[in-house]
Amino acid sequence: MYKKELNPRIIAAILLCTSCFAVKNANAQLSLTGQIRTRGELRDGYGTLEPKDAKAAAQIAQRTRLIFNYKSSRLIFQTSIQDVRLWGQDASTITPADGSKLAVHEAWAEIILSNKKDTSFKISPVDYFAIKVGRQELVYDDERLFGASDWLTQARRHDAIVFKLMQQGWQIDLGGAFNQNTDAINYNGTFYTPANVPATVKDSKGNLMNTPTGFIPLINAAGISAKNGSPAFLNPPGTNALIADYKSLQYLYAAKKFGSTKVSGLFVTDEFGKYILDSVKNTAGTDVGYLYGRRYNQPGINTRITTGLLVNPAFGDKNQWAGTAGYYYQGGHDKDGLKLSAYTYTLSLTYKDINWGYTGGLDVLSGNDATSTSAVNHRFDPLYGTPHKFWGSMDYFYAASGSPTGGLTDPYLKLKYISTNTRFSTELAGHYFMLADNQKNTTGAVIDKHLGTELDLTTAYKLNKFTSVDVGISYMAATRSMEYAKGITPNTSALNPVWAYLQLNIKPDFLNK
């Protein structure tokens, strides 16, 4: 695929020219904001259980963004340039061969065709209608199925087109996306390999080899190619990781507020290219090895359908009570071609007074029952949402590790305090994780559904209007059932993982004091 390096001088020139244009156009609004978000983490069982003799790991990650936004009566234009890296990931001096470390996180334009609130429009058949096209974040409702996943240093975005309609209190968005790996003139068809595959991998003997085109290797925990994955680290069972992207996506979102109650509906279809299991012989090493994996560039697609409703009522004196009730169903076929029939539902109730908030809720995501002989996949996949918001800060479920085979039942409680001046807040959340469906151990016996109890304590303080400090610590009391849920050899893991972080988030507005 053709890529062009981003030259900082070109970026500065574009911003300068656009700034001059904005000064001449009194009706235009221009903003230039930035972000440096540095987060240090102590990981001793983050994301999955660690072996009993494993040592804790520490790291510091940083996101740097420059966000330019231009808005006029006919157009909204935004570009977000982003650099993501770990401290120490690059040498202190890099060579020209290392290339540019910049990437475009967002680059979109919203063409406004109707706006009754803007008197410059002589004719506006509807309250608001616009077409938004380009690289953009897709964020809806509580980010359960579509979210920016902002907790991740790299976050999430889509290359998409969205038709946006506002009419008599209704919001209706119709969106679509189509992905391709290359623009080569001799490329045959529209096949798509849905992963950020490394250029080189290790075969079954540990020999380094080039990754074949259209091939996603199956790599085990040791970084060696193995049959059936063990697990397939580069292709997790869920689609929440960016490495498991779709071939195409279409969705319809509709929402309206009735009094103090918001009702929203979502219908999504996403398609994935078909593949075959294959192996490639590697004779370059001292021993003849094989690279096992999934070979894409096959005819046909697997189509998945997700649809459901979310209701958010508010009631009581000054709307001190707020609720959430939602149900979503998945059908069609999953990205591996299996027939799919899965569901999720969520229920929660929150009470807020001046400084305190109390929340109790339940999330259930269906899974496969190991005692059943059904060939249908019942594992619900929460699409492209923000799992970190819902199923524990330690990201054991539906994040990069994908959806657990047995699904998840998560009753939770949260206690939150916000100071009167809103500069300080702290929250304590507790999750009681259980399997939604039966799983078996290595002897064939059904295991206990209780996976573990997680406690998350997070605190945030605003130093000033553009700087905040966040601190968090999480602890889990896991059970042996968690090993089976994670595909780990029984009785080899430490069952008391701990994770902590310290984050500094700086977001200046360069054009305003």
Q: Name the 3-class secondary structure at 11.
A: helix
Tokens of 314: 């508010």
CATH number of the domain at 217, please: 2.40.160.100
What's the pLDDT score for residue 199?
82
Instruction: Give the 3-state secondary structure of residue 96.
Output: helix
DSSP secondary structure letters along 322-334: EEEEEEEEEEEB-
In a domain, 511, yes or no: no
Burial (Cβ within 10 Å: 0-12, 13-18, ≥19) of residue 471: middle
Q: How many domains does one find in the chain?
A: 1
Tens digit of each residue's pLDDT (9 = 90 or more) over 321-366: 999 999 999 999 998 899 999 999 999 999 999 999 999 999 999 9
> Domain residues for 497?
8-506
Let me know if residue 63 belongs to a domain: yes
Question: What single letter denotes the amino acid at residue 442?
Answer: T
User: What is the pLDDT, as a whole number, of residue 189?
Assistant: 75
State the first-to-last Cα distance of the chain, in angstroms, to the nearest integer.
Answer: 42
Residue 513 lies in a domain: no
Q: What is the pLDDT of residue 232?
A: 43
Q: Residue 2: inside a domain, yes or no?
A: no
Q: Is residue 203 part of a domain?
A: yes
User: Mean pLDDT in runs of 10 for the chain (513 residues)?
Assistant: 44 52 62 96 93 93 95 94 85 52 86 94 95 96 95 91 97 95 75 79 88 84 68 51 75 97 97 91 81 88 96 91 97 93 98 96 96 93 94 91 86 97 97 95 92 98 96 97 90 95 96 80
**Is the Cβ–Cβ distance between 110 and 72 less than 8 Å?**
no
**Which pLDDT belongs to residue 87?**
87
Q: What is the pLDDT of residue 235?
A: 44
Is-contact 60 33, C-beta < 8 A? no
> Does 301 map to a domain?
yes
Residue listed under structure tokens 């305090």: 417
Q: For residues 429 and 61, give the distance between their C-alpha atoms in angstroms, rounded to a whole number.
A: 25
User: What pLDDT was estimated at residue 220?
Assistant: 73
List, in order, residues 6 or more apart from 285 with CB less than 8 Å away: 203, 205, 206, 207, 208, 209
Examine residue 512 and state whether it is found in any structural domain, yes or no.
no
Q: Give the integer Cα–Cα distance in Å for 130 and 188.
A: 35
CB atoms under 10 Å from CB of 31, counted, come to 15
> Tens of pLDDT along 416-464?
999 999 999 999 999 999 999 999 988 889 999 999 999 999 999 999 9
DSSP state of 55: P
Contact 476, 496 (CB under 8 A): yes
Residue 1 lies in a domain: no
